[in-house]
Amino acid sequence: MAEIDKDDLISIIEENHDVEDVPETLPLMPVRDVVIFTDMLLPLFIGRERSIEAVDKALSSNRYLMLATQKDPASEEPGPDDIYGVGTVCRVLRMLKLPDGRMKTLVQGICKARILEFVGEEGPLFVRIERMEEKEVEELSMEAEALVRTVRDQSEKILAFRGEFSGDVGSILDSIEEPGRLADLVASNLRLKLSEAQELLEIEDPVARLRRVSDLLIREVELSAMQAKIHSEVRDEISKNQRDYFLREQVRAIHKELGEADERTQEIEEYRKRIKKAKMPKPAQEEATKQLRRMEQMHPDSSETAVVRTYLDWLLDMPWNKSTKDVLDIKKAKQLLDKEHFGLERVKERILDYLSVRKLNPSMKGPILCFLGPPGVGKTSLGRAIAAAMGRKFYRLSLGGIRDEAEIRGHRRTYIGAMPGRILQGLKQCESKNPVFMMDEIDKVGSDYRGDPSSALLEALDPEQNAEFSDHYLNLAFNLSSVMFILTANMTDTIPSALLDRMEIIEIPGYTPEEKLEIARRYLLPRQIKENGLQKDALILGDAAIKLIIEEYTAEAGVRNLEREIGTICRKAARKTAEGHTGKIRVDRANLSKFLGIARFQPEMDKDENQIGLATGLAWTSVGGEVLYIEASLLPGKGELIMTGQIGEIMQESARAALTYVKANLGRMGKGASYLDDLDIHIHVPAGAIPKDGPSAGVAMITALASAITEKPVNQDFAMTGEVTLRGRVLPIGGLKEKALGALRGGVTTILIPEKNRKDLAEIPSSLKRKMNFIAVKDVEEVLKKAISEDVLAATPPPSVKKVKSKKKATP
């Protein structure tokens, strides 16, 4: 009705139509999605061929047309059963044919009619109708008048909610007194369902129809009130944001007119330039562009904007395409490695091999090396030397004590304060995608409810997978194949097997006394003199004094404590210089105790003479090799085995196996088979506060037991190592060089080793071989002949148990 002039609408509604001239047979035009009421003016767009023909028939006769609503709006060719039986007789007021073949008409509802039957089968549908006469209400009852007023008031409320109420509309509503016409007018302008509108059309009683309209109006008023309330709440909530947004847009427009750019625009443009300049992979560039578009649409002070800004900064700062050029001069690299580190020939050879292959094949993947050795042997400093030799950036990550998986792979961006893992942090700090990345103490990584960091390292340390390493924060694949990972560990026992399988283990054993002396002279002493502010020639520390420090003031495989003791001497010298001492300060064996105090390390046992029941074994710990003393004593008892000294389960099993071998060979030792039945055997390992475990002390336990049983002393110049079987075979052991160095520190120069360890002597330095005597043995008999005497085990085997044949009695 909004398209029709107001005066025309009033005149049409107030006009009294004479419906007597409406014929009984009319052309039918089905309409969809609308129900037409009396006095209703409606423009219709007609496109169906049969409907156009029906309008043409009406225009060619008396301009009357029967309009009825079809039940299914989607039906293109509705039949008699698809059309409601009650419709409205309309008069075609205007008609306009459109260029596309359609027709636009303006129709006016005249009266309601009921379809009695359909006439004709071809062409437009004709129907025979029966007019439904409107019941005239001569005088309104109290109820009807109240209904009229209620409907008027409710209609005005709805129009007020919609913002469509005006004085003209109120005049139209006040001018209509008949309940039926008022009901049709209000119903034609309500947003009713098709079924509800058809229900109203079919109600003949005007008062009943108005009552039904009143009910529908009440529901519509409630819905409109609720909708208005929701709109009001939403408008209040966003009004401030809209106001701020409009103000910012106005400021931006002002800056644009002045030829200036505001801070927000400058920031967005700067990010856009950085994205183009970063040369990121296509997935990363697409993600950065997507996040920048999100950031443009956000409030600059919102928390989400800060999250996106931080993410973009990390994304753009990553060295996607930045790398350092490798220095592939093999001779120069060898000179640098030799200058920085003394010894460690095997490690240096492996690094030079890698550089050589890298020179021939620049596209090779970075290796995963693991330096295994005791503390203080230079594992970490060796990583720095490798980076310097290759001309790469160096980054060190300490893994000791890390228990959170997110330290390796980062946090999800959904968490407050999320950031990438330590690997990507290191790459960002290095500003290079091919640094030397050192991970210290890989054997000391823990795990708890926050995850297992060692498992998170599997992808990063696998050359076949780390080309697409995914960090939880970036959530994008980053190529780690150019990174040279170097890990350090003191032992492999605590490293998960899956992670250990991805590494190339390079063992770095402890240093010999000669190597320590050379390291102290070349590196430790000059560095400590410089750090303590002394002149180059102000302190003279002789080789004899350094050897004494190595022997009696330190007991280690590396040189960390040696440097600490040299630093103590330098501090004492610095104090003397600061107090006014002039001239050089000399330190030798005679006055060393004045600088370092009394010697800290003395032999655990008295080895001046050979002793019964005391054998010298060798142990390999995470801090190097050590001398391990085994004591055995016999005392009256019930044949029980007593073990003390914090012995682990494996070592206890070795003790039981040693006792079984000894019992099986009592006859060859000159003892009866029941010799130990009334004796308890006590095996003790001194330094009882230190836990000990491992099978390599088996030969030392058998030697100590055999010495105690035969009452013959063990030669204290011998140390021994090896696992034994019940038949007396000596099995190979590990860590031969570390154990040899431990024996040398303990003052032992002759070592009995398993025959199968003879091949490991090739890895022992010549200087160490010249000082020590290695004797390879196959079985316990050889061990006892060397360590005790030749006649401990007699050549004749122990007497066998004779079988007694039972005599059968003759049957009577």
Residues flagged as binding site for ATP: 373-380
Dihedrals phi, psi of 287, to nearest 5 degrees = -65, -40
Residue 334 annotated among the catalytic residues of the structure: no
Distance from C-alpha of 93 to C-alpha of 40, rounded to nearest angstrom: 12
Are the C-beta atoms of 615 and 700 separated by less than 8 Å?
yes
SS3 313: helix
- CA nearest to 54, candidates 65, 43, 44: 65
What is the 8-class DSSP label of residue 596? H
Q: For the chain, how far is it from start to end, CA to CA, in angstroms?
A: 140
Q: Is the CB of residue 20 less than 8 Å from the CB of residue 131?
A: no
Strands 436-440 and 484-489: parallel
Cβ atoms within 10 Å of 697's Cβ, excluding its own = 31
Contact 774, 799 (CB under 8 A): no
Is 594 one of the annotated active-site residues of the chain? no
Task: Output the CA–CA distances (angstroms, integers) from residue 692 to 25, 340, 555, in the order listed.
Answer: 116, 36, 18
36 and 28 Cβ atoms separated by less than 8 Å: no
CA dist., res. 426 & res. 435, Å (int): 9
Across 608-625, b (16+ Cβ under 10 Å) vs e yields eebbbbbbbbbbbbebbb
Listed in sequence order, the residues at least 6 apart from 311 whose beta carbon sits closer than 8 Å to its beta carbon are 291, 413, 473
| Cα Rg of the chain, angstroms | 52
Amino acid at position 158, single letter? I
CB 775 within 8 A of CB 750: yes
Kindly state the greatest CA–CA separation across the chain: 152
Strands 103-119 and 86-97: antiparallel
Catalytic pick from 696, 707, 712, 737?
696
Amino acid letter, residue 485: F
Q: What SS3 state is found at 355?
A: helix
- Distance between CA atoms of residues 711 and 701, nearest Å: 15
Catalytic residues, by residue number, are: 696, 739
